[in-house]
Amino acid sequence: MSQFPKIGIISKPDDPAIAATVQSLYKYLVGQSLEIWADKVSASFLASEQINESSLDEIASNSELVIVVGGDGTILHAAHSLIQKEIPLLGINLGRLGFLAEISPSEIEKQLGQILSGEYEEAQRIVLQASLIRDGKTIGSCCAINDVVVHAKQMVRMIEIESRVNKQYVNTLRADGYIVATPTGSTAYALSGGGPILHPNIDAIVLVPICPHTLSNRPIVVDAHSRVEILLSEENRHTALASIDGQIDMDFMPGDTIVIEKCKHVLRLIQPKNYDYFDVLRVKLRWSTSPDNNNK
């Protein structure tokens, strides 16, 4: 008997190349006598199966596992809709890099069969809560799975920001922006900005300045229970943006503060039994590979 008798399917939009994978996935799940809930995109790929499309709210209310077909961006999009109910997610990787999506299309039957029979591991990743404070009032709040990024809104220019951790002043810096990332997000934008890779089991967050004017500014790792505050200096003449996971933007005005704390919810990821994080890093980041001598 399956560990997850009710399964939701969410697919990457605007990518007809994934239709075959969605169809194969659906055929396999139906063959296991499972109840399927498909989002609008997935249902469009399954028109011949006459499956009714479901809203994300319906998927969240009725599924015990949600399978996401796409890349990490699709998983982040799905997680934002499901995070409050903490429904476990399983990713089938059709993206470019895929640190979150664990299964390749060619392994659907083998690995999904093991998972449905109970042979899997569950990882619980920390999530951040970002709140925008203006004139002493919270005007916006959102969960961040990867990161919160503060940057100039319309043009390439430096902004001046002040940071505090647990109400203790850290620094004032002029930079292109600032990244506050979870361990999950440490392999995303934060890594490109020179930040460290945090193992996903570490209960910590990393603060990474983006192209700081003062070169001695370096990434800082703090306890995940810390309260991080980023103030956009009144000296700034232009509006900035607070970008959540690269998907949700909030206008960040001079004098505003972003308060970032650990969220009460977690991201639940279902992984194959043989999941090896360091193997993922070696493959995705091309570690331990020899130079291609054929190109000489």
Active site residues: 72
Burial of residue 233 (CB within 10 Å: 0-12, 13-18, 19+) is middle
SS3 294: helix
- In angstroms, the CA 134 to CA 121 distance is 42
- In angstroms, the CA 5 to CA 29 distance is 10
Residue 258, beta-bridge partner list: 132, 230
Is residue 227 within 8 Å of residue 259, measured between CB atoms? yes
Parallel/antiparallel/unpaired status of strands 35-38 and 147-152: unpaired
**Which residue spans within the chain are E strands per DSSP?**
6-11, 35-38, 65-70, 89-93, 120-134, 137-144, 147-152, 159-165, 168-175, 177-181, 204-210, 220-223, 228-232, 240-244, 248-252, 257-272
Q: Residue 134 is encoded by which pair of tokens?
A: 């203006």
Radius of gyration (Cα) for the chain, nearest Å?
21
- The CA–CA distances, whole Å, from 197 to 244, 262, 275, 277 equal 19, 19, 18, 11
- H or E stretch covering 57: helix 56-62
